Structure formats: structure tokens, C-alpha cells
């Protein structure tokens, strides 16, 4: 069995213009002071990593590794959430997602999509240069505006959306395979891959591609009323990454899953800091140990109530205390009945 690595922290929600959140060295020093062992790095801010340069220069990648290793840290994975989102965008969201791309593409949606594909590919090569094994992204969404079938969807609409989604991602997955990197889709509302069924639909369109894997984040399943423990049992062979993020769902007579267009603090379902919500992390970490999860337990702080710095400080300890150091021998080995040499005798078949 494998002991989960951690704690690590996804730094996207902490990046800012003031120290210690304004460059890689400062934020790494801050994370190390809290007890984190690794950083998961978003790739859209060159203050933290120049993605194209990391893909094209092994020397630069080594320098980035050196910055974090000097502080006793590692890089757990790279993230292309915002770029992956732009691989597939329904036109209704074109203007809303312009902010995820350089301004020169804001009125060039085809160019924006091509830019996004290249960015996600850069992350594969950069991950290879950094000595990593996996990277996380979003699938994007062509069908999401039609998630609730009213008015009734035209026949074949969803099938055509997923066919196109597979067509766009298959060559990207092939490139990740060339680089030896698993591409992990975060299963997330707002994406066409938002639960197990949609993930399986996608796998069919990409030929069950070995690199089309999963980032597991139970908070999104709480808000969908999906069994997040059963999900591990079903998909554990595909789960290569993990976010430790909590959530709570408290429906009332006035509000349920859809949230009534309210702000996060006023929604029935909302994200919380680890330990403040309803997720059974003891059971999750047990299942991850049982199934030999090979990756990092990564804190993703998203909470409508708690200050992020408090969430980070508490989260490092929370993850550390939940990681199970797996045993290297059976607990009942002291009561061994002997070797296999007597099995036939015991069964009376000699």
C-alpha cells in the first residue's frame, strides 16, 4: 500500500499583489512556514511560472524546481483550469470567459480556442521537464447551458456536444501520453464533465484514453447530492489527483441545489474550509489508502466565511492529521497458524 503524500496547497486562491503572495519564492516560503510540503501551481500568472518557457527550456524548469526545493518543498502538479475551460466554450459564455485569455483574443473565439489548446499542451511538456506525473484541467463546456431539459433538448444535442468535446481533447491527450503525463479532469459543475456519467460519456468519445484521468474533489459532489465515497470505489483506478475541500448542503423550504441565484454565503450549498463542512474526510483518506492513491492531498481553500490565511494554516494540520501512514504488515500476523506447507494437510487432501 501507498501512503498519501502531503500536505500540499493549491496556491491559485492566494495569489495577490502584496507579499507573501506576489511571487513564487515568497508564497513558497509562506507555505513552508505553515507545514505544507508541496505547491500545486496555476499556469496563467508568469510571476509564478512562465508556462511556455517551462515547456521549452529544461534549464528554466530546473530553476523553478530549485526555488521551491530550496525551501524544502516540491511542485505537486501544474494547473490549466482556465486554459482548459477555453478548449470548449458554448457561445452563450463567450464574453464571460474572455478574461481567461489575452485581450488580443477577446473577439477572436477561434484564435482563443487554439491558444488554449497550445497552453494545455505546454503544461504537458512543462510537467515532463519538471519531473511531474500529472496535471489538472477543466474540460470546458458545450452542453452545460442545456443541463436541465426544459425546453426539451433537440434529439442528439448532447451526443453531438460530447462527440465534439472528444474530438477536441483526443489529440491533446495523445500529446500528454507522449510526454508521460496524466491529464486529470476536475469533475465540476459548469463543465461538461461534472459527474461520473458525463465522465464515462467522455471516455467513450476518446477511446477510453489511458491519460484521461480524474482529480477527485468531494466538495462538488456534496453540492450535487452525489455519493462521493461510492465515486472512489467506482473510479479509483482513474483518480490520480485530489483536492481537499469541504462543503455543506443545507436545503430549506425556500432553497435547494440551484441556490436561488444567491451569493455563496447565502446558498443552501456552499464550500467550506476542511473540517467545517459535511465531508467525511476520515472515510475518504481510508479509501484512498485502501486503493493505493499515488498522489498528493492538496488543500484547495474556498470558503464563503473563513479568512483564507486561517483556512490555509488549519488546512495544513487537517491534512497532516488525516493522512494514514499505511502498515507494512498485517495486524493479526502475531497469530499466524503456520506456513502454506500444511494447507493440504489441514484440508485433508493429501
The DSSP annotation for 99-160 comes to GGS-GGGTT-HHHHHHHHHHHHHHHHHHHHHHT-SEEEE---BSSGGGSS-SSPPPTTHHHH
Burial class (CB in 10 A: 0-12, 13-18, 19+), 348: exposed
Is residue 319 within 8 Å of 274, Cβ to Cβ? yes
Structure-block grid coordinates of residue 116: 488554449
Cell 455563496 found at: 264
Using CA atoms, how far apart are residues 141 and 211, in angstroms rounded to an integer? 20
What stretches of the chain show up as alpha helix (H) in DSSP? Answer: 24-34, 51-56, 58-69, 81-85, 109-130, 157-179, 196-205, 218-222, 228-235, 281-290, 308-322, 343-347
CATH architecture of the domain covering 5-347: Alpha-Beta Barrel (3.20)
Beta bridge partner(s), residue 269: 249
Is residue 319 within 8 Å of 7, Cβ to Cβ? yes
Q: What does the pLDDT look like over 194-253, one tens digit per residue? A: 999 999 999 999 999 999 999 999 999 999 999 999 999 999 999 999 999 999 999 999
Is residue 11 within 8 Å of 27, Cβ to Cβ? yes
Is residue 243 within 8 Å of 300, Cβ to Cβ? yes
Using CA atoms, how far apart are residues 74 and 118, in angstroms rounded to an integer? 25
Task: Please report the pLDDT score of residue 343 as a whole number.
Answer: 86
Mean pLDDT by 10 residues, the chain (350 residues): 96 98 98 98 98 98 98 98 98 96 95 98 98 98 97 97 98 98 98 98 98 98 98 98 98 97 97 98 98 98 97 98 92 74 84
Task: Please report the pLDDT score of residue 1 as a whole number.
Answer: 85
Where is 6: in which H helix or E strand?
Answer: strand 5-10
Task: Please report the pLDDT score of residue 219 as a whole number.
Answer: 98
CB crowding 211-230: b at 16 or more within 10 Å, else e: bbbbbbbbbbbbbbebebee
| DSSP letter assigned to residue 97 | T
Domain ranges of the chain: 5-347
Q: What does the pLDDT look like over 73-97, one tens digit per residue? A: 999 999 999 999 999 999 999 999 9
Contacts of 274 (CB under 8 A, 6+ apart): 244, 245, 246, 281, 299, 311, 314, 315, 318, 319
Query: Residues of the chain with pLDDT > 70: what percent?
Result: 100
Q: What does the pLDDT look like over 137-154, one tens digit per residue? A: 999 999 999 999 999 999
Is residue 46 within 8 Å of 111, Cβ to Cβ? no
Is residue 280 within 8 Å of 244, Cβ to Cβ? no
Cα dist from 80 to 36, 44, 101, 250, whole Å: 22, 8, 12, 32
Nearest 5°: the CA angle 46, 52, 56 is 135
Phi/psi for 104 (5° steps) reads -65, -15
Amino acid at each position: 500500500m501507498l501512503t498519501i503524500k502531503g500536505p500540499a496547497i493549491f496556491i491559485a486562491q492566494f495569489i495577490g499583489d502584496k507579499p507573501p503572495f506576489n511571487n513564487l519564492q515568497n508564497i513558497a516560503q509562506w507555505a513552508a512556514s505553515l507545514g505544507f510540503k508541496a505547491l500545486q501551481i496555476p499556469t496563467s500568472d508568469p510571476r509564478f511560472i512562465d508556462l511556455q518557457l517551462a515547456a521549452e527550456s529544461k534549464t528554466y524548469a530546473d530553476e523553478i524546481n530549485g526555488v521551491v526545493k530550496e525551501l524544502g518543498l516540491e511542485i505537486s502538479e501544474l494547473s490549466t483550469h482556465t486554459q482548459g475551460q477555453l478548449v470548449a466554450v458554448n457561445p452563450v459564455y463567450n464574453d464571460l470567459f474572455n478574461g481567461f485569455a489575452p485581450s488580443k483574443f477577446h473577439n477572436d473565439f477561434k484564435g482563443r480556442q487554439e491558444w488554449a489548446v497550445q497552453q494545455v499542451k505546454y503544461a504537458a511538456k512543462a510537467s515532463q521537464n519538471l519531473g511531474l506525473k500529472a496535471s489538472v484541467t477543466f474540460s470546458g463546456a458545450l452542453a452545460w447551458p442545456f443541463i436541465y431539459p426544459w425546453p426539451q433538448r433537440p434529439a442528439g444535442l448532447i451526443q453531438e456536444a460530447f462527440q465534439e468535446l472528444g474530438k477536441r481533447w483526443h489529440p491533446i491527450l495523445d500529446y500528454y501520453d507522449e510526454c508521460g503525463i496524466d491529464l486529470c479532469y476536475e469533475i465540476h459543475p459548469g463543465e461538461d464533465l461534472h459527474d461520473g456519467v458525463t465522465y464515462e460519456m467522455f471516455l467513450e468519445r476518446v477511446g477510453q484514453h489511458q491519460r484521461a484521468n480524474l482529480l477527485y474533489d468531494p466538495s462538488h459532489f456534496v453540492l450535487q447530492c452525489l455519493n462521493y465515497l461510492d465515486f472512489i470505489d467506482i473510479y479509483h483506478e482513474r483518480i490520480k489527483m485530489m483536492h481537499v475541500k469541504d462543503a455543506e448542503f443545507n436545503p430549506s423550504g425556500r432553497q435547494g441545489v440551484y441556490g436561488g441565484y444567491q451569493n455563496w454565503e447565502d446558498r443552501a450549498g456552499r464550500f467550506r474550509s476542511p473540517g467545517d463542512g459535511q465531508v467525511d474526510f476520515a472515510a475518504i483518506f481510508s479509501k484512498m489508502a485502501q486503493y493505493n492513491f499515488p498522489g498528493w492531498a492538496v488543500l484547495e481553500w474556498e470558503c464563503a466565511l473563513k479568512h483564507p490565511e486561517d483556512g490555509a494554516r488549519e488546512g495544513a494540520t487537517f491534512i497532516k492529521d488525516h493522512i494514514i501512514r499505511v502498515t507494512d504488515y498485517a495486524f493479526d500476523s502475531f497469530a499466524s497458524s503456520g506456513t502454506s506447507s500444511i494447507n493440504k494437510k489441514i484440508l485433508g487432501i493429501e
